[in-house]
Each structure stands twice: as structure tokens, then as C-alpha cells.
Structure 1
């Protein structure tokens, strides 16, 4: 099956890239619930799936709106207002979704075991959308926030690389290199072997290109007139996001930060709690806590609540410090 999105000169002029936290929410959720093997995301799934199950997020609103296969609710992916919107900005847009659009999306969802939830949302979109957004925020804190620095680095690097390619080689070449199922052909962007069509008569003008760490191995589309169509594709380097980081420069870093703090940073290749870090590093919990406060104040770690504990994660700045 093949579909095509035709382009006028105006459509090409309105084609842009954007990083979307909400696209990472829906694509990562699909990875968690829909892929037993999970491919390049196995390490992330092994860490995150138990947290999601304990929090009941494997059977809530996201489960109803983002099934493992097929159509997912379009209103979860509003048009990004700029190239790098925050999660809060996109969730505000979700809350503003007109009731008619919500109901249109629900008619396309199969529902299955989640029919009761979908009926509640159909009957009172404004009230229930608040519950959906609250669940997304809880999911973000458990599944994505501890890893967002490294995810964001890959997504932004993809945008900057492709923007440079557009300047050097033109849009046609860049559009042809997005994915093996996407090709540019005489003014039309063609999507091959797709289960959902994307055509200009079903979409607004222009095109939004959204790199995603979790979209692999496919591309996903959103087409809701009068919004510009969106195409989410696997970002360059997505497979390296979960690879353990080496720390060849630890001696130099330790000379500045001290050995204990450097040890904690290297241990935080995987987000961990104070108790876990103390056990792994042979330090007291009180000592680890003091070091983490200092590292957080310096912008080298971030903290994210996970149930009754707090997970600490290394920032992109710390990654570069350990791997210059």
C-alpha cells in the first residue's frame, strides 16, 4: 500500500521540524505495552515497565487511547507551537481540544476492554481530559523524565543535522532520507507499506517533521485538518540512547569533583535512588544525599519522584563531562 502527500511551493515553505514531548509519550507507551522484545529499547523497558505496572499506568487512560497496534487518539499529539515545546505547553493544548475532535477520535478507536473509559471521555471531554493529562504527567515522571536529557539531546541533534542538510542539499533529499518507507517523487512525499493514508485533501498545508527515539521501526502520521500533517520518524542515533556510557575521563573529573561524586555520576548511567546508590557505591545514604544535593545544584543531576522514592538521573552536561 502506498499513499502520497502532494506539495506546492507554499507547502514546502511551511515544512518544518519540531521536537515533541507528547510524541515521545505515545510512542514510548507503545513500546512498553506492545513489543515483547522491544528491540533497541530493551534496557529502558526493563527499568521502566515494573514502575508503570506498579503505578497501574498499564491499564489506565493511556491504555485506552494508545493501543499497542493501529490507530491512536490524534488529540494526544497537538501541533507543536514551536520547534522545542515543553510538555506543559503540549498538555495545555490537549486540554483545549474541542469536544467534537475528541469524539471523532474516539469513534475511530476500537475500544476493546476500555469501552467504559472511552464512553466517559465521550460524554464529558473537558472533565475527563484533565484526568488524562494527570495520568500523562504521572507517566512522564516515571518513564521519561529521568531519561529526558539524553533523549532530548538525540532529538535536537537530529533537527539541527537535518536543518543543515536542507540548507546544503535542499528539502527533497532530506525528505527522501527520513525512513526507508518514505521517498520524495516529483513533488509528492510517498509513504510505502503504510496501513494509514496521508494525502493533502485530508490535511492542512505544510508538513511537520517530528524526530522520535521510540518511533522505530516505523513512521507514524497525524492528519487533522486544518492543522498541518505530522510525520514522526526514527531520529538519527536513537539506537545509542540506552548504551552504557564509558567514563574514560573519570580521573580528570575526580580531580575537580572528588572521587565520591564522580563515582555517583558514573553509576547514574541508569537512574537510581539514594538507597540504591549507597548500596552500589559503598557510601552511606547520608553521604550520598549530600553529594546529590551538590551535584543537583551544579546542574549535573536531576531528581524525579517514583512512588515513595526519588530517582536521580545524570544530565546531558554530566554526560559531556564524563565523555568529552
Structure 2
């Protein structure tokens, strides 16, 4: 059990952030076997073949992301590959720039990573960190970018909920249902931990709370210098992240954008290629391409190259439009 002592200054400086870079690292854990309960099976089954056919050496990244073992150090993540964000929602490019600029003195870890990988990093930090950042960026494009709108909506929804809890009842109310592994009592945050014990003082640095789609059922803590003290925790409703929702509201949307485009937009519950969408909707591939171009121009759809194919996904604006149409349809039926 870790006891995190929060003074008044720490409570005042407690904040939230979302980290695309951390989602890269946490999702690699899932692909390496850390998803014992199969929460992310749907995502993994789509992503693994894509990564397997890509001309990409993932070892610089995968070597640095250990999976849980019986060792007390098993499952720890080297801090230098995913430093806590300094702004509420940094872009992946900004976070990768931080990785590239990591001081050589920070290139150490107690995590179970191949010694040869750490030796290479220390021997030529600039080159190896640049290589690591490039692999992270390529992995992001294949594994996370097509799904980011959905993931981001989940994470932002959790932050809105937590902010409301803080306003309603202060820090005690905020932490009351953060996670079963976290409890609050008398100005101290108690965090269950596999191996670490004892008290930790934040000394006025505050606490950074980072909801993460890929960490359940664990909570990851960052409490050592020089990083910002942080908790990476599962957001509310993470179990619904990959549920395929029925394509409702197409009639309402059809009156605005036409039936073909409405059908395509509602079909994009998960990223799909032009060929997939043509097969599912009965439209010609050429027609699908034209309609997707129009939807993309309107900001409702994004395109992501994944190996040899291009995957289309709803943007946050597209998700909002579909949800609004579905809500309006439910109201009318009621």
C-alpha cells in the first residue's frame, strides 16, 4: 500500500490530462498479453493483423514495454518513454518531441527490459530516442489513430464527470469512486500496489490524474522525480469502449445529407475501408469513395493509412452528429 500525502497546495494543483503517448504504451501492453479479461479483444483482433503485415520493426518500442510477471518489478514501465504530459491534451507530436529530448541521465529503469536495448539507448541516446519516437509514431498511425475519436470521447467524458464530482464535494468526492484501488482518508490517498509500500509526499507539486483506456484493471502511478506525480486510471464505462452500437438515426440524417452518406456515417462504428463499406452497404466502391470524400471535407470523417489500405473513421464531430440523430429518433419514438 502506498500512502500519498496531499497538502493544501497539492490539492490546489491537482489537475487532469489526456496523454496520447501513454495510450501508445498502455495499448502495447495489451497486445503483449496484459489483457487477461479480453476487454480489448475486438480492438486487438483488428490491429494485430495490420501490424503483422506492416513493414515495421516494433522492437525498439515493444522491448521497452514489459508485461506482468511474477517478479515484483514485472509490468513496470520505464518513465522516460511516457513522461506525464505538461498540458491537458498535448498532441502526440509534442509528446514525442519530449521523448526525443530526454536527458541521457534519465535513461535508466528497474523494469524488466532487455539489457541490450538499454545499452543501445545509453550508447547513442540521440539516435536511439529518435528511432523510438519514429516507431511510436508509426505504431500510432496503424493501431490508434483510426480509433482515437472514440477513445478520446471516453476519456473526455470521464474528466467532465470527475470535474463535476470535485465541484460538488471537493477532493474526497472526487476520489471516492475513482477506482477500487484508490481510497481517500484524512488528506491521504491510499493506493494499492503490488510491491511498493510506505508514504510519499508531493511537496506542493500537486497530482496529475490521467484517465487511460488501456490500463484496466490496474492503476499506474508515477511518484518518483523528476516526473510530475501522476495516477493513470481506468475511465468510467471503459467496458463499453468497443461495443458496436446499432446504426440508428440514418433516416433523420438522410434528410440532411442524403441516404448514402447518412448510411456510411452510421456504419462507421469502427474504422473501415472503402471495400468493407461497399460490401456492407451495397454501394459501389466508387460511390463510397465519393461520399467519404464529401464527409471528410465536412469534417465528419477522417482517413488513416494502415499499411496497404486506408481506414475511415468518424471524427468527434461525426460522432456527435450520429449521437444527436439517434437521440432525436429515440425521443420521437417515445
Shorter-chain TM-score above 0.5:
yes
Distance (Å, rounded) in 1 between the aligned partners of 2:46 and 2:21? 21
Partners of 2:248 and 2:266 within 8 A in 1? no
- Corresponding position of 1:117: 117
Alignment map for 1:160-239 (pairs within 5 Å): 160-197=160-197, 199-200=199-200, 205-239=205-239
Partners of 1:15 and 1:207 within 8 A in 2? yes
Distance (Å, rounded) in 2 between the aligned partners of 1:259 and 1:224? 55
Partners of 1:64 and 1:118 within 8 A in 2? no
1:309 counterpart = 2:314: no
- Corresponding position of 1:255: 255
Shift of 1:291: 0.8
Q: How many residues align?
A: 318
1:246 counterpart = 2:246: yes
Gaps of 5+ in 1: none
- Corresponding position of 2:299: 299
The range that moved more, 239-248 or 134-143, is: 239-248
TM, length-normalised to structure 2: 0.89
Considering only aligned residues, what root-mean-square deviation do their CA atoms show, in Å? 2.0
- Corresponding position of 1:19: 18
Shift of 1:37: 4.6
What SS is found at the alignment partner of 1:205? coil
1:139 counterpart = 2:144: no
- Corresponding position of 1:72: 77
Partners of 2:150 and 2:316 within 8 A in 1? yes
Classify 1:15/1:144 alpha carbon distance in 2 versus 1 (closer, same or farther; 3 Å): same
Classify 1:131/1:320 alpha carbon distance in 2 versus 1 (closer, same or farther; 3 Å): same
Shift of 1:220: 0.5
1:282 counterpart = 2:289: no
Shift of 1:71: 1.2
What SS is found at the alignment partner of 1:65? coil
Classify 1:56/1:207 alpha carbon distance in 2 versus 1 (closer, same or farther; 3 Å): farther
Partners of 1:159 and 1:211 within 8 A in 2? yes
Partners of 1:3 and 1:194 within 8 A in 2? no
Classify 1:178/1:194 alpha carbon distance in 2 versus 1 (closer, same or farther; 3 Å): farther
Distance (Å, rounded) in 1 between the aligned partners of 2:35 and 2:233? 21
The range that moved more, 53-62 or 245-254, is: 53-62
The range that moved more, 82-91 or 188-197, is: 188-197
Distance (Å, rounded) in 2 between the aligned partners of 1:199 and 1:78? 22
Distance (Å, rounded) in 2 between the aligned partners of 1:203 and 1:29? 33
What SS is found at the alignment partner of 1:43? helix
Partners of 1:149 and 1:315 within 8 A in 2? yes
- Corresponding position of 2:71: none
What SS is found at the alignment partner of 2:190? strand
TM, length-normalised to structure 1: 0.92
Classify 1:253/1:23 alpha carbon distance in 2 versus 1 (closer, same or farther; 3 Å): same
Distance (Å, rounded) in 1 between the aligned partners of 2:203 and 2:101? 20
Partners of 1:38 and 1:45 within 8 A in 2? no
The range that moved more, 174-183 or 259-268, is: 259-268
Classify 1:202/1:127 alpha carbon distance in 2 versus 1 (closer, same or farther; 3 Å): farther
